[in-house]
Structure 1
Amino acid sequence: MEDNLTIFGIRTVIEAIQSGKNIDKIYIQKGLSGPLFMELMQIMGKRGFNLSYVPVEKLNKLSNGNHQGVVAKISPVKFRELEEVVQEILEDETKTPLFLLLDQITDARNFGAIIRTAECTGVHAIIVQNKGGAPVNADTVKTSAGAVFNIPLIKVSHIKDAIYYLQASGIKIVAASEKTETSLYAVDFTQPTALVMGSEEKGVNPSVLKLADQKVKLPMYGTIASLNVSVACGAFLYEIVRQRL
């Protein structure tokens, strides 16, 4: 059965996967077993779905129906392929590439707000990881004010793989981090750039930070040591806009 962007029931989820639906996240009851469940796991295979194993109470809240231990969220947008989008942007000589990589942003409203700002500031594509990030749900769509339909969204198995590909394509990786002395305003953003923003609680993963060509921070003068990630992202993106005007 289907309710807005949520589907539930093992067979329904299997059919959605087989028909090519854009599955954003799958919630599975802890300890679930049985032949139909095994069929689902086999069909999912190594595709890298965003899975979350949760108590049955969580599934009851999500589905309001006979979920059989499985609920899935279908994305209202179609995700693009990294290589395809990067080549499109590089081939357009009128554009200076600007990509945004989100390292496991978990709040759907933050995600939506970032998408909205990215669309307004001319970001060419947003790259997220298959697992661990916020789903593209009704909250995301609403908070983005529809921008989610106007900017390419890309899902990759690992953020690090995307970074390697972007670097090989001549795009500089700049990571937002408090663990640096380099100010945002000391960096040249007029060249092809990919900005990496980290999760709300942990920031950019240390293993991802190591791959960045530059780590930069926002100057902070208050007693609170950090900004909301969507606000911080806006500050970074508008400095890029300022430099490219």
Structure 2
Amino acid sequence: MEKENQIFGIRAIIEAINAKKEIDKVFIQKDAQGDLMQELMRTMKKNNINFSYVPVEKLNKLTSNNHQGAVATIAPISFSNLETLIEKLLDSGKKPLLLILDQLSDARNFGAIIRTAECTGVDGIIIQKQGAAPVNGDTVKTSAGAVFNVPICKVDHIKDAVFYLQGSGIKTVAATEKTDQNIYDINFNEPVAIIMGSEDRGVNPSVLKIVDEKAKLPMFGTIESLNVSVACGAFLYEAVRQRL
């Protein structure tokens, strides 16, 4: 982790959150106690900051400074507001192509997806504040810098984003093997948001219930699953093919 992209110490992290810095994630020592730590926990929950409990060894590896049981990473980008982005896209007369990542947790997969998204003209990527892959040095590197060119929106809940997009006239299509419909049966030549799930669980069942369409990639091998960034590339390039 790049040292300039981290904050250590409980009070410093509280101040950064209150100052509305783009905090990507906070790592908290598993057994940390004390009034100041309780204040940090309250501040994070109030501001919906992504955090996880880690062993002290992980914190010691992140920084040689006195971290007091907490280290935060600052996102190297500024996030976009979903409503503002959608209004702008619709006002411009564009046919939006959006990507929703439902709890994707691997930074390198995230970076690879951003890179493909940039190459295929994706207008915006939507991720959830809690549980999503961090936007860190690995993400920037794997995306080959594309992370600076594609708007990324953080939302409280993926389901709310789906409802908002549907209300704005944008069709939602979930990538899932739990359907008889394959990718080539779907019309991508209209305003559309493609939803990719996490590496291990796929798209959340509660999200699958509310999407407009579900689609799978035809599989002929014995493994019957693709890396999520590869699957995402196949979906995006089918959208490109139809739109050309």
TM-score, structure 2 length as denominator?
0.96
Structure 2 match to 1:153 = 152
* Contiguous gaps of at least 5 residues in structure 1: none
- Describe how 1:34-45 pairs up with structure 2 within 5 A: 34-45=34-45
Q: Secondary structure at the match of 2:100?
A: strand
How far the C-alpha of 1:14 sits from its partner, in A, is: 1.6
Counterpart CA distance in 2 for 1:110 and 1:229 is: 7
Counterpart CA distance in 2 for 1:90 and 1:13 is: 38
Are residues 1:141 and 2:140 paired? yes
Counterpart CA distance in 2 for 1:9 and 1:100 is: 35
Q: Secondary structure at the match of 1:90?
A: helix
Q: Secondary structure at the match of 1:24?
A: strand
Structure 2 match to 1:68 = 68
Counterpart CA distance in 1 for 2:104 and 2:140 is: 15
- Is the contact between residue 7 and residue 63 of structure 1 (CA under 8 Å) also seen in structure 2? no
- Describe how 1:37-56 pairs up with structure 2 within 5 A: 37-56=37-56
Q: Secondary structure at the match of 2:17?
A: helix
Structure 2 match to 1:4 = 4
Q: Secondary structure at the match of 1:173?
A: strand
Q: Percent sequence identity over matched residues?
A: 65
How far the C-alpha of 1:30 sits from its partner, in A, is: 1.8
How far the C-alpha of 1:170 sits from its partner, in A, is: 0.7
- Describe how 1:172-187 pairs up with structure 2 within 5 A: 172-187=171-186
Structure 1 match to 2:193 = 194
Report the count of equivalent residues. Answer: 243
Counterpart CA distance in 2 for 1:229 and 1:31 is: 34
- Is the contact between residue 101 and residue 194 of structure 1 (CA under 8 Å) also seen in structure 2? yes
Partner letter of residue 119 of structure 1? E
Counterpart CA distance in 2 for 1:46 and 1:158 is: 15
- Describe how 1:84-123 pairs up with structure 2 within 5 A: 84-93=84-93, 95-123=94-122
Partner letter of residue 4 of structure 2? N
Q: Secondary structure at the match of 1:4?
A: helix
Partner letter of residue 67 of structure 1? H
How far the C-alpha of 1:45 sits from its partner, in A, is: 4.2
Partner letter of residue 89 of structure 1? L
How far the C-alpha of 1:129 sits from its partner, in A, is: 0.3
Counterpart CA distance in 2 for 1:46 and 1:98 is: 32
Partner letter of residue 74 of structure 2? I
1:63-120: CA deviations, max 9, x gaps? 2321111111100001111111110111111x10111000011110100000010011
Counterpart CA distance in 2 for 1:72 and 1:64 is: 14
Counterpart CA distance in 2 for 1:46 and 1:210 is: 29
Structure 2 match to 1:22 = 22
Counterpart CA distance in 2 for 1:178 and 1:199 is: 13
Provide the alpha-carbon RMSD of the alignment.
1.2
Structure 1 match to 2:240 = 241
Counterpart CA distance in 2 for 1:64 and 1:118 is: 37
